[in-house]
Amino acid sequence: MTPTTLRPSLKAKLKRIVLIALAIIVGTAAVAYGLDFAVFETRVIAKKNPYGAVMVNPYYAVLMKDGKTEFIFDPSYQQSCVNALFPHAGQLPCWYLSRHPDRRTDV
């Protein structure tokens, strides 16, 4: 056997391994999201604390003509969130929002 005959089979095996690994990762993510959605919907139906609230600090970053940035801070407010691993019902998860409470808006 020459090295050129081994390359296609090795390439095919690597391609197959990568595709199987990718399928496992996508499948695991889909199952995790599905379970999280089922738990969230169960909490909504049973009214068992599906939503939460986190204090958010909004501010604006205004780029001035001289290249400097001016920051304008607004008062803090409570933003509703979901007690879940992934976003649901158009809201961010509370674990993510509590770790990122600052809301910057570039103007």
Residue whose pair of structure tokens reads 């008062």 in the numeric block:
75
- Could you tell me which residues come within 8 angstroms of residue 35 by beta carbon, excluding any fewer than 6 positions away? none
Range of the domain at 69: 3-106
State how many domains the chain has.
Answer: 1
Query: What is the pTM (predicted TM-score) of this model?
Result: 0.73
Q: What is the Cα–Cα distance from 75 to 107, expressed in whole angstroms? A: 18
Percent of the chain with pLDDT over 90: 82
> Tell me: the pLDDT tens digits for 28-65?
999 999 999 999 999 999 989 899 999 999 999 999 99
Question: Using only C-alpha atoms, what is the Rg of the chain?
Answer: 24
Instruction: Check if the beta carbon of residue 101 is closer than 8 Å to that of residue 56.
Output: yes
Q: What is the Cα–Cα distance from 101 to 50, expressed in whole angstroms? A: 20
